Chain A
Amino acid sequence: MSDLRDLYQEVILDHNKHPHNFGELNGADRHADGFNPLCGDKLVVYVNFDGETITDVSFIGSGCAISKASASLMTDAVKGKTVTEARGLFEEFLSLVTDDNAQIDLDALGKLVVFGGVRDYPTRVKCASLAWHTLRAAVEDRHEVVTTE
């Protein structure tokens, strides 16, 4: 079993305390609501596009350190990417946090690799993936609240 520091890496604690791209995006092209009923985490993800490219993305909400840091690092990671690239990144991210045996493209994930420790905490996978599910709903223009249940 891993050490707690594998889960709560410095980068995660930093982003929890000082999240990037935190705030509403006025007049955003799309937005979606995410909710984790298990722990009460709530967030809204806003996205702007130029064609297929995500030009800007932000979030607001409250949640545990894992969910907040994940949202923060996600917004950094997908900004400037195309929708297809962002989808690919989400797939890689899900493998990282759930699959022990996956061939993971560490280069593609970049800073997101700090969430590798989540794999040892199955109850926390939902925290790490909530922002991503919500981003996907925003991109797909789905209006129902995304829940992790």
Chain B
Amino acid sequence: MTTANVAAVETVPFDVEAIRKDFPILRQQMRDHPLVYLDNAATTQKPQLVLDTLARYYAAGNANIHRGVYELSEKATVAYDGARLKVKQLLNAASSREIVFTRNSTESINLVAQTFGRQHLTAGDEVLITHMEHHSNIVPWQLLCEQCDAELRVAPIDDTGTLQLDEFERLLGPRTRLVSVVHLSNSLGTINPVQSIVEMAHRHGVPVLIDGSQAVYHMPVDVQALGCDFYVFTGHKLYGPTGIGVLYGREDLLEKMPPYQGGGDMIQSVTFEKTTYAELPNKFEAGTPHIAGAVGLGAAVDYLRKVGFDGIGSHEADLLAYGTEAIADVDGLRLIGTAAKKASILSFVMDGAHPHDIGTIVDRDGVAIRTGHHCTQPVMERFDVPATARASIAMYNTRDELDALVRALKRVREMFPA
């Protein structure tokens, strides 16, 4: 029942116009202009397949999972476990038991901090992160460190937004109990050398969590090849629904970790004297989970694999190169985040124009970008800017849309001369 057949994935040749047709929201006009959606790092739009799957689930497949003896409940259970299998294949995890559904990346990280972290940290121990982390990969560790009287160490980045790997290695010490790093930075676009990071950390006997929120929808991820101990991501950035996230954890680690939350579905038996916990991954999924969300995420994974990372990767790399060159044409514009290895993100500031004003002005042309600190205040401080404007790319974006962005930025320049 739990091993629903998943057909081998056949990819189709990459065709951005065909892909755009799969995303109904992109047909909208925004302020009398075609919507140019460039806030994908915040959340991506959803393909029709995901929308249909969600509607179909509620219209014809909805029941609570596990334990139901009637057919509809069995059907819902198969759909839910089938989604888990799809995620397992997406990440190439060794087993579905290693895939835990959560609400989002934030919850996945908090789960690891409060179970694995509480189990392994004592006073004077250290957690090592980098300067480019999202607040969701900073604050859970600060909370943990407060609870355990441990210390949070931060590996520096250079002026291009590249992790200083030698400094990182220097900070791996005898007291380091966990490394937690972002795979692809949401405010800089930097792709971290996660393979080297894992190897380095493992040489010191330190497990590694990778925050793949921004990476999973741009590039293939193979957790076994990476050798990482935990990998987290959120569904809504992977063209799936909000409210569903994933924690991948190595089975032997998950086995030894205490539960995160107590409740229904995570138990084997309950008496007032003693409760025994369910097998993986249910041990970490207390209460009725977001069944529809998981099923929708499964559909998003299907969609993504059908399009294929080869096509997505080369299309997005072309857009990033094109966009990087095109916005250089705007006077007084400076990119924040120019690492040699980067993807999908154009974060920038403009002399004489505050990011918030930039965002308002380009919105008048239907161009949606994000402005602010992007939940990475330490990055803003590092680059001595209060905020940046950020255009972030997904598979359905086009060169024409980047031209529209540049035209809109030139209007900003007219209103706010450098």
Contact = CB atoms under 8 A, between A and B. Distances in A.
A39 B371 contact: yes
A1 B245 CA distance: 38
B117 to A, nearest CB: 27
Nearest to B417: A17
Interface in A51-93: 62-66
Interface stretch (B41-49, B188-196, B357-365): B357-365
A4 B416 contact: no
A4 B373 contact: no
Nearest to B373: A40
Contacts of B416: 13, 16, 65
Interface in B343-369: 352-357, 360-361, 364
Given A13-B416, A38-B372, A40-B372, A127 B356 contact: yes
Interface residues of A, number: 21
Interface residues of B, number: 18
A133 interface: no
A42 interface: yes
Contacts, number: 48
A66 B357 contact: yes
B219 interface: no
B357 A64 contact: yes
B349 to A, nearest CB: 11
Interface in A7-50: 7-8, 13, 16-17, 38-42
Chain B interface main SS type:
mixed
B341 interface: no
Nearest to B415: A8
B205 interface: no
A119 interface: no
B27 interface: no
Contacts of B204: none
Contacts of B372: 38-40
Given A4-B361, A40-B380, A41-B386, A65 B354 contact: yes
A42 B364 contact: no
A81 B140 CA distance: 48
B387 interface: yes
Contacts of B387: 39-40
B31 A42 contact: no
Nearest to A39: B356
Nearest to A123: B360
Interface string B372-393: 1100000010000011000000
B191 to A, nearest CB: 26
A38 B386 CA distance: 11
A90 to B, nearest CB: 22
A126 to B, nearest CB: 10
Interface string A112-148: 0000000001011001000000000000000000000
Given A39-B372, A41-B386, A42-B386, A4 B357 contact: no
A1 B31 contact: yes
24 contacts: A4-B360, A4-B364, A7-B360, A8-B361, A8-B415, A16-B416, A38-B372, A39-B371, A39-B387, A40-B380, A40-B386, A40-B387, A41-B356, A42-B386, A64-B354, A65-B353, A65-B354, A65-B357, A65-B416, A66-B356, A121-B360, A123-B360, A124-B356, A124-B360
Interface of B: 31, 352-357, 360-361, 364, 371-373, 380, 386-387, 415-416
Given A17-B352, A66-B356, A66-B357, 19 more contacts: A4-B360, A4-B364, A8-B357, A13-B415, A39-B354, A39-B355, A39-B386, A39-B387, A40-B372, A40-B387, A41-B386, A63-B354, A63-B386, A64-B355, A64-B357, A65-B357, A124-B356, A124-B360, A127-B356
Query: What 6 A-B pairs come out closest when comparing CB atoms?
Result: A40-B386, A64-B354, A64-B356, A40-B387, A39-B356, A65-B357
